[in-house]
Structure 1
């Protein structure tokens, strides 16, 4: 109890807008189901405020209640699983990314799907850096470009169709787009020119779990002028790097990690 109280600011020190986060952190740090009265005592909040904050956390799935005791809820678990999956993918991709960058002298990135967007979680650049929309931590819509199309093509069909509808209202144009996504799945990679950034060519290869669920995508990007007569070689290099990442993951996890089962 004392350890928890020393870590968490008192109610007087915590802005009103942040108190719900203070309570969530306290619930998480107890390490066991905790009563509202214990939380009231530890936080200095009055009982009515505590119950109001706990009700909000329950409504959003961040805490669950059983026999008047509170514990972290399913939303906390999902966040932890997603964090684990992203961290593991970054670690297992690193060596292959370095070799791919050094071999090709081009920009290499790994992206994942979060909240229906492509989020770059790792990026390596050669000495001649590339001006492009991607950077670590930045998100882009799942629509244009090799990375977005590669990720979207490997999502479950309902999610893929829903996202496509949000970007393309015309039914015939959407059918053409969805056929392009099917081709990406069949050939094992996506390849585009100047769809997101003018003058940039890109190839993106999916990284899949042992049970063939999408983990992320490995992408190589380069100025079009530097890729002339080299497309096939760059595609093969990227495909091989993605295979190395998957082999590394498979060697570490003979059975798919729970984090990967929940990655979407």
Structure 2
């Protein structure tokens, strides 16, 4: 294989896996000089495979299309609201859908109860991967390079309950084993949240998180009940993603036949 192609593929593979890099961390990860890395990144950015913001590089629209993430997130945005509403109906608390964006998380969709006191995120709000149940679920299923970068970085201590590095390492293993996470005031004091991953083709494409005040969600029976509801919703969402992508594939195939 041409060495130039190998270098370009190595950069794309690293960006697709980790999702968020500087030119220097990319160069170190793939073993290229920084000057060479910048040259390749200019080409990849110009062709839409990489996008850059404030010196950080992440997958562009073309790379997202190749990996299927763009399709999955479009499906989540379409079928997610009904699933979130079912969680709110069952538990009476705020339900959010969170996706990972590099070493951060992002609130993709939300559904809220009609209550004065509630905990929620704004749609498209960036969130830390190290604090909060939904975010830590995504951290647990992130690539090892992302996990290590989060653990090694200087992290904000949002409350007295925000996890330490040692606690984070332990919880990653725990979340993988149990399949769910719980947060008690890690990101916002006084809140309780539970979350599960939504698995699709072997990847955690998002997490489903339900959160409320400790006054309503602090008893020991709330978390198990919330996890059961979330796991049912996650299974429904996985089925919906399968149906959505199958329908999209058939529509694309029909469209191509019609124009051939």
Shorter-normalised TM range: 0.5 to 0.7
1:163 is aligned, of 150, 164, 173, to 150
**1:202 Cα offset (Å):** 0.3
**Aligned residues of 1:107 and 1:129 also touching (Cα < 8 A):** no
Which whole-Å CA distance do the structure 1 matches of 2:205 and 2:150 have between them?
A: 18
Which whole-Å CA distance do the structure 1 matches of 2:100 and 2:117 have between them?
A: 23
2:194 is aligned, of 192, 198, 203, to 203
Which of 1 and 2 has greater Rg?
1
- Which residue matches 2:89? 102
Task: Within 5 Å, give how 1:96-135 maps onto structure 2.
Answer: 96-132=83-119, 134-135=121-122
**Aligned residues of 1:144 and 1:196 also touching (Cα < 8 A):** yes
**Residues 230 and 245 (structure 1), Cα distance of their counterparts in 2 relative to 1, 3 Å cut:** same
**CA offsets 1:5-25 (integer angstroms, 9 cap, x no match):** xxxxxxxxxxxxxxxxxxxxx
Partner-residue secondary structure (3-state), 1:62: helix
How large is the RMSD of aligned CA atoms in angstroms?
A: 2.7
TM-score scaled by structure 1?
Answer: 0.64
- Which residue matches 1:194? 185
**1:120 Cα offset (Å):** 0.2
Which whole-Å CA distance do the structure 2 matches of 1:58 and 1:199 have between them?
A: 44
TM-score scaled by structure 2?
Answer: 0.65
- Which residue matches 2:255? none
Partner-residue secondary structure (3-state), 1:135: coil
**CA offsets 1:46-99 (integer angstroms, 9 cap, x no match):** xxxxxxxxxx997152335xxxxxxx5564413556543322112222222111
Asked if 1:86 corresponds to 2:53, the answer is no
**CA offsets 1:83-121 (integer angstroms, 9 cap, x no match):** 433221122222221111112111000010113111001
2:62 is aligned, of 60, 68, 77, to 77
Asked if 1:230 corresponds to 2:217, the answer is no
* Runs (5+) with no aligned partner, structure 1: 1-55, 65-71, 258-264
Which whole-Å CA distance do the structure 2 matches of 1:239 and 1:126 have between them?
A: 20
**Aligned residues of 2:94 and 2:118 also touching (Cα < 8 A):** no
Aligned residues: 190
